[in-house]
Amino acid sequence: MSVVILDFGSQFTRLIARRFRELGAYSVILPGSSSLERIRQENPQGIVLSGGPSSVYDENAPKPAPGVLDLNIPILGVCYGMQYLAQQAGGDVKRAGKREYGKADLTEYSGDLFRGIQGEFVAWMSHSDSVTQLPQGYEVCAKTEDTPVTGIQNTGTKRYGVQFHPEVVHTPKGGQLLANFLDICGVTRDWNAEHIVEELVADVQKQVGNGKVLLAISGGVDSSTLALLLAKAVGERLTAVFIDHGLLRLGEREQVEAALKPLGVNLVTVDARQQFLGELAGVDDPEQKRKIIGREFIRAFERETAKLGSFDFLAQGTLYPDVIESAGGPHSDKSGAANIKSHHNVGGLPEDLNFKLVEPFRTLFKDEVREIARLLGLPEHIRMRHPFPGPGLAIRCLGEVTEEKLDILRRVDDIFISGLREFGLYDGCSQALAVLTPIRSVGVMGDERTYSYTAALRAVTTDDFMTAEWARLPYDFLATMSNRIVNQVHEINRVVYDITGKPPATIEWE
């Protein structure tokens, strides 16, 4: 039993599934054009038609397969999905006079979808088309000032539509609306992290059969959690490989080895410092750096495979944000989204990959992986560790990466991160980092002129790393950090704090 989400290309389709998971409901995302037979295999109790970039009146507008709308189960259309429902039932959809983008207040709302919801309802909008004529059998159940038809319902056939996106966090009461839809469908809400683990274990076993799995492990949250999951799924047929690419932080190799030991996973550490730094020499373009790192990771795994015996499968702790940001690359999803940066484990992978990838977390978000980690008993200090990107300090050393710059950055980073812990601020940030910029500026120290590098500090708060706010760290703390860095790292004479959110910036600088 499930809810089937038909995807018409919205950026937020995965968020619908995510909200259902949070509400304890099992859902499956299928392409919008899936056949009726395929949809029936999932035994759905309800269907969601997602949003999407097309307009329903376009000649080639994507549509659900014939018969889907005749299924005798509740259907919720979101944005494009609502416009499609309205059009199919004989209503009209046109480019609106007033487009809505961002937050809008519902001026009126009522009906089954809004049961139990009171007070103001802030709805996040992203549309240029609107339902201009209500189809027969439907009534309006929500309005905004600019869009008189913002919600529609046909309680007889149990067809519902909303013009806004209930799945995004910027629609604060959207979760309640989706919960109401689940109730209308009669979905039992007993889906939880335990089920997810069972399902992931079964999927891995099905994919891998009797094969051997090499796990790319970094000591980070995702790959450490994956180690525990894979140990459950394939037991002894698992070998974890940790690459020291020379781009790690101060003392990180020893710390990771010590932290992973108690997990009881068969761990091999590979010293690939020369190889990575050699390949990166002279390269200053961020995308090129990322691609080189992605490729060298794979080459390092291949060399280990040659030593350790054959491995068909390479497991990585890839998450959904890595996939969506790497869109368009050789190992990314063909979602039509823009390429923001090639994450080393997705868009940065070489075309000639000789492993089959095992990536059970590919559709999940960080906080969900942390829930799985809790269930699998990952120690808290690993579970709540800030993420550290696979390309490591290479993407925080802007421009060309050299041993000298890495050494400077390591010392700055260590002062900042230890400082956050010392002042009890580490857990309040989702991620913190230091960047070595290529900017040199004039300073005065000990009455002498200096002409040295600028370091940037960055700390953000976020749930899912898709969007982020810069952390409001106390001025006194920042002052202490600036002081310590300039005093202890002689190559730095200026420290700045990054006060940009994501968007418009990203978390890493490259």
Ligand X SMILES: Nc1ncnc2c1ncn2[C@@H]1O[C@H](COP(=O)(O)OP(=O)(O)OP(=O)(O)O)[C@@H](O)[C@H]1O
Ligand Y SMILES: NC(=O)CC[C@H](N)C(=O)O
- Identify whether the C-beta of residue 413 lies closer than 8 Å to the C-beta of residue 393: yes
Cα radius of gyration rounded to whole Å, the chain: 25
317, 329, 347, 360: residue in contact with ligand X (rule CB under 6 A): 317
Give the shortest CB-51-to-ligand Y separation in angstroms.
Answer: 3
Give which of Mg ion, ligand XMP, ligand Y, none residue 304 binds (C-beta under 5 to 8 Å, depending on kind). none
- The letter for the amino acid at 15 is L
Spatial separation of the C-alpha atoms in residues 442 and 307, rounded to whole Å: 51
User: Cα torsion at 31, 335, 221, 480 (round to 10°)?
Assistant: -140
Q: Does 80 bind ligand Y (CB under 6 A)?
A: yes
CA distances from 313 to 64, 174, 246, 461 (A): 35, 40, 25, 35
In whole angstroms, the minimum distance from the beta carbon of 6 to ligand Y comes to 13
d(C-alpha 182, C-alpha 179), whole Å: 5
Amino acid found at 246: G
Angle at 502 between CA 77 and CA 175, to 5 degrees: 30
Q: How big is the site for Mg ion, counted in residues (CB under 5 A)?
A: 3
Q: Which of 173, 344, 370, 411 binds ligand XMP (CB under 6 A)?
A: 344
The verdict on 225 binding Mg ion (CB under 5 A) reads no
In the bound state, the residue with its beta carbon closest to ligand Y is: 51
Is residue 161 part of the contact set for ligand Y (CB under 6 A)? no
- Up-side HSE of residue 506: CA atoms within 13 Å toward CB? 14
Q: Does 21 bind ligand XMP (CB under 6 A)?
A: no
The site partner of 473 among ligand X, ligand XMP, ligand Y, none (C-beta below 5 to 8 Å per kind) is: none
* 387 makes contact with ligand X (CB under 6 A): yes
Using the rule CB under 6 A, give the single segment among 105-113, 124-132, 187-195, 343-351 that binds ligand XMP: 343-351
Dump the DSSP string for 189-251.
----HHHHHHHHHHHHHHHHTT--EEEE--SSHHHHHHHHHHHHHHGGGEEEEEEE-S---TT
Per-residue x/- track, 398-437, ligand XMP (CB under 6 A):
---------------------------------x------
Q: Residue 7 or residue 222: which is nearer to ligand Y going by CB?
A: 7
91 binds ligand X (CB under 6 A): no
Active-site residue 252, yes or no? Answer: no
Cβ contacts of 475 within 8 Å, gap of 6 or more? none
Residue number with CB closer to ligand XMP (42 or 498): 498
Of 35, 55, 155, 275, the residue at the interface with ligand Y (CB under 6 A) is 55
Q: Are 53 and 85 in contact (CB under 8 A)?
A: no
List the catalytic residue out of 165, 331, 343, 344.
Answer: 165
Question: Is 2 known as a binding-site position?
Answer: no
Query: Which residues inside 430-449 make contact with ligand XMP, applying CB under 6 A?
Result: 431
Query: Does the annotation mark 429 as catalytic?
Result: no
Residues 6+ apart with CB under 8 A from 59: none
In angstroms, the CA 41 to CA 35 distance is: 10
Is residue 53 part of the contact set for ligand Y (CB under 6 A)?
Answer: yes
Q: Does 371 bind ligand XMP (CB under 6 A)?
A: no
Whole-angstrom CA distances from 80 to 33, 49, 316, 477 are 14, 8, 34, 47
Is 128 among the annotated ligand-binding positions? Answer: no
Please report, in angstroms and rounded to a whole number, the separation of the first and last CA atoms in the chain. Answer: 43
Catalytic residue status for 490? no
90 is in an annotated binding site: no
Contact predicate 488/450, CB 8 Å: no
What burial letters (b/e) apply to 443-470, b meaning 16+ CB within 10 Å?
Answer: eeeeeeebebbbbbbbbbebebbbebeb
Q: Footprint of ligand X on residues 181-240 (CB under 6 A)?
A: 216-218, 220-223
Q: Please state the closest distance from residue 361 (CB atom) to ligand X, in A.
A: 8
Cα separations (Å) of 143 from 161, 162, 402?
A: 12, 10, 58
Is 57 a binding residue for ligand Y by CB under 6 A? The answer is no
Q: Which two tokens stand for residue 133?
A: 């004529």
CA distance 63 to 249: 50
- Nearest approach, Cβ of 386 to ligand XMP (angstroms)? 8
Q: CB-wise, 150 or 345, nearer to ligand XMP? A: 345
Catalytic residue among 100, 127, 141, 167: 167
Cα–Cα distance for residue pair 411/396, rounded to 1 Å: 13
**Residue 52: contacted member of ligand XMP, ligand Y, Mg ion, none (CB under 5 to 8 Å, by partner type):** ligand Y
Pick the closer one to ligand X by CB: 129 or 322: 322
Indicate which of ligand X, ligand Y, ligand XMP, none lies near residue 325 (CB less than 5 to 8 Å, by partner kind).
ligand XMP
388 in contact with Mg ion (CB under 5 A): yes
- As annotated, the binding site for ATP includes 218-224
Positions in the binding site for ligand Y (CB under 6 A): 10, 51-55, 79-80, 126-129
Positions in the binding site for ligand XMP (CB under 6 A): 290, 321, 325, 341, 343-345, 387, 389-391, 431, 465, 502, 506-508
Q: Looking at the annotation, which residues are catalytic?
A: 79, 165, 167
